[in-house]
Structure 1
Amino acid sequence: MQFIFDPRQLLHDPELYFRRGAFIPHPEQPQRAILVRDALLAAGHTMEAPRDHGLAPIKAVHDDGYVDFFMTAWPDWVTATGTTVPAVPNYHTDRRNWRVPKGVIGKLGYYSTDTSCPVVEGTAEAIYWSAQTAIEAAERVRSGAADHIYALCRPPGHHAVQDASWGFCFFNNAAVAAHHLLGRFQKVAVLDVDTHAGNGTQDIFYRRGDVVYVSIHTDPSDYTPFFMGYADETGEGAGAGATHNLVLPVGAGVDDILASYDAALDIIRASGAQALVLSLGVDMAKDDPLSLVGMTTEGFRIGAARVAGLGLPTVLVQEGGYLGPSLSDNVVAFLGAFEDARRA
């Protein structure tokens, strides 16, 4: 399979993450993308670089001020604080009821929901080129140049809401790709198979009817993202009925997960979607350090073949999947099975 990647995505390299009252090594490391890239090349997949599509496709789903802030946050932080320590917010607010402050310290809190997205020197370039990778893949599908293509996006994106970072995510690559596909297709489906609910993607499309959002994920009642991703959240206004959260219990095994794949695919078929964005998290793997369920490499192969069976033009966008033993094996298995099923 052809895949898109830019090495500038490796420049975001946070060392630590404040979680549960302590600093721990940050799970979202550049090595994630390096391992996957090298494994895909070794397996015979072909890599190409994205073109620069600018900020407009990103701003089509994200708040202008939010996007502009993260493009200059690092130099603004250094100037304001006189330090080069990572920029981590220590103020947070309800963005809908308060004003956007003037200074970088206040803005960092305004445009962030948690401490998982520290800004470092290379953050702006990394998140920009992660988004460009998704846009390039979507543009190739939108133009008809590709029927399916994989965007090796890193940092990931599906937790980023319209105007705030969240859960390692700055720009919502899958949402940007889905909106871009609407330039050709009248209705697009987003299928999210990451072990965490894609609350950002849900939030962005919750009141829209042109994008159907279906997510398979672990119960968020005591698990990231905590505040969204429940089965009774189904959309509002024009988006009523277009959001579907298929919630897995902690400890779910391969059979449970694949049954949810089948249910998700039935929803997408019934929706009339003409194209698909797959938020491909492989952190459901039983050996992933953030997983509470038990997916296997063979399970990923089976799931991939079933998704391919939809026959829809598809952009596959990398989300989670952390430094567990099977990370690169699972991505290679998924993409290989998807490609084989399409050729069959």
Structure 2
Amino acid sequence: MKVAHSPLHIRHDGGKELHRGELVPCFEMPVRADYILAAMRRAGFEVLEPRPFPLESLLRVHDAGFVEFLRTAHAEWRAAGKEGFMLPSGFPARALRRDHIPTGINGRMGYYAFDASTPIVEGTWDAALAAAHCALTAAAWVAEGEKSAYALCRPPGHHAARSVYGGYCFLNNAALAAQHLRDQGFGRVAVLDVDYHHGNGTQDIFWERSDVLFVSIHATPETEYPYFLGYADERGEGAGEGYTRNFPLPRGTTWKEYGIALDAALDAVGGFAPDALVVSLGVDTYEGDPISAFKLSTEHFPRMGRRLAELKVPTVFVQEGGYAVEEIGANVAGVLEGFLGR
């Protein structure tokens, strides 16, 4: 299996996040990718840098104004006399206007962000763009005949919506991969999100579409981030009605309960009969993850990979969460090696 990875991920480093009411160092840090990369090399996977893609590729799933904001945000922050990392201080919540984008950098930051856990630093755009190129490259490999490929993306992407960033995510790597597969002739593409947190951004992007099925297994938004999406009654709208499926699970979920939900999710994917599959691969379902509360152990990730392989469709894996950094490499490799039948 080929692995797309860019050393530019390290450009997104520093800053702090507001986590459950406390300002703390970011859990999403460069060493995550370093541990995964080492595990990929130990497993014998071929690691390659991503291909370049035109900026227009991003506009297949993202709003042009949003992309331009991300590209120029930190430079504008500096031009306004600010230093260091950027976090928003206000959002267009209920009772506030949502139909006007402020001209000032602070207002626009709050308009495009949905949380204060996703700092922008000087190198954020470089890293996010490189991660997007990793996802597009992995999708291109599969479109060209590879049975599977893995995009070692950092920062992750599944919380980024068409015109909103948050949850450590800026550009939606999984959505970009799915759209690229569609553009390369795959008629029906399924996205299966197995991250602990709901992939609200991916759901938003494909909410009204019937050509891309979005299925997510995640912790209940009643108590877990992102709180305001990911309920079982969310099923899409318009042409997309019935093409979103959510399987929320409670804190403390073990492999026994998770496996039942995984079977149901795979049944939904199989019923869609996709021509290709994109897996938003978060391994923050691991029992030792510092910001999650499921109880999967390292032995369960190869089982997940084997079950995914039973779909027998070309598959792109896109890295999402996982914050137990010393174990993240083994857990990601477990899924991929299980998928390959090792």
Normalising by structure 1, what TM-score? Answer: 0.96
Partner of 1:172: 172
User: Quick one: distance in 2 between partners of 1:243 and 1:147?
Assistant: 25
Partner of 2:287: 286
Report the Cα offset of residue 21 of structure 1: 2.8
1:336 is aligned with what amino acid?
Answer: E
Residues 44-73 of structure 1, C-alpha deviations (whole Å, 9 max, x = no match): 111001111121121110110000111111
Report the Cα offset of residue 20 of structure 1: 2.9
Residues 207-230 of structure 1, C-alpha deviations (whole Å, 9 max, x = no match): 110100110111111110100000
Partner of 1:206: 207
Partner of 2:83: 84
User: Quick one: distance in 2 between partners of 1:211 and 1:61?
Assistant: 12
Report if the CA contact (8 A) 1:231-1:245 is conserved: yes
Partner of 1:26: 26
Residues 157-194 of structure 1, C-alpha deviations (whole Å, 9 max, x = no match): 00111101011111010011111110211110000000
- Where do residues 1-344 of structure 1 align in structure 2 (5 Å cutoff)? 1-80=1-80, 82-94=81-93, 97-144=98-145, 146-183=146-183, 184-340=185-341
User: Quick one: distance in 1 between partners of 2:78 and 2:326?
Assistant: 37
Normalising by structure 2, what TM-score? Answer: 0.96
What SS is found at the alignment partner of 1:327?
A: helix
User: Quick one: distance in 1 between partners of 2:71 and 2:338?
Assistant: 37
Report the Cα offset of residue 98 of structure 1: 2.4
User: Quick one: distance in 2 between partners of 1:15 and 1:44?
Assistant: 34
How many residues are paired up? 339
What SS is found at the alignment partner of 1:47?
A: strand
User: Quick one: distance in 1 between partners of 2:16 and 2:175?
Assistant: 27
User: Quick one: distance in 2 between partners of 1:143 and 1:66?
Assistant: 30
1:252 is aligned with what amino acid?
Answer: T
Residues 79 and 281 of structure 1: CA distance in aligned 2, closer, same or farther (over 3 Å): same
User: Quick one: distance in 2 between partners of 1:242 and 1:14?
Assistant: 38
What SS is found at the alignment partner of 1:306?
A: helix
2:85 is aligned with what amino acid?
Answer: P
User: Quick one: distance in 1 between partners of 2:42 and 2:188?
Assistant: 36
Report the Cα offset of residue 323 of structure 1: 3.0
Report if the CA contact (8 A) 2:61-2:162 is conserved: yes
Residues 129 and 96 of structure 1: CA distance in aligned 2, closer, same or farther (over 3 Å): farther
What SS is found at the alignment partner of 1:221?
A: coil
2:150 is aligned with what amino acid?
Answer: Y
Between stretches 303-312 and 12-21, larger displacement belongs to: 12-21
Report the Cα offset of residue 300 of structure 1: 0.8
User: Quick one: distance in 1 between partners of 2:65 and 2:306?
Assistant: 41
Report if the CA contact (8 A) 2:156-2:169 is conserved: yes
User: Quick one: distance in 2 between partners of 1:220 and 1:189?
Assistant: 22
Residues 54 and 333 of structure 1: CA distance in aligned 2, closer, same or farther (over 3 Å): same
Report if the CA contact (8 A) 1:88-1:118 is conserved: yes
Report if the CA contact (8 A) 2:35-2:325 is conserved: no
Report the Cα offset of residue 324 of structure 1: 4.3
Residues 221-276 of structure 1, C-alpha deviations (whole Å, 9 max, x = no match): 11101000000111110001001001112111011111111111111111121100
Report if the CA contact (8 A) 1:288-1:325 is conserved: no
User: Quick one: distance in 2 between partners of 1:297 and 1:193?
Assistant: 15
What SS is found at the alignment partner of 1:297?
A: coil
What SS is found at the alignment partner of 1:288?
A: coil
Unaligned ranges ≥5, structure 1 = none
Between stretches 34-43 and 322-331, larger displacement belongs to: 322-331
1:163 is aligned with what amino acid?
Answer: S
Identity of aligned residues (%): 44
Between stretches 241-250 and 324-333, larger displacement belongs to: 324-333
Report the Cα offset of residue 312 of structure 1: 0.6
Report the Cα offset of residue 39 of structure 1: 1.6
What SS is found at the alignment partner of 2:141?
A: helix
Residues 21 and 266 of structure 1: CA distance in aligned 2, closer, same or farther (over 3 Å): closer
Report the Cα offset of residue 332 of structure 1: 1.2
Report if the CA contact (8 A) 1:287-1:325 is conserved: no
Query: What is the root-mean-square deviation in Å for CA atoms of aligned residues?
Result: 1.3
1:155 is aligned with what amino acid?
Answer: P
Report the Cα offset of residue 43 of structure 1: 2.0
Report if the CA contact (8 A) 1:258-1:299 is conserved: no
What SS is found at the alignment partner of 1:23?
A: strand
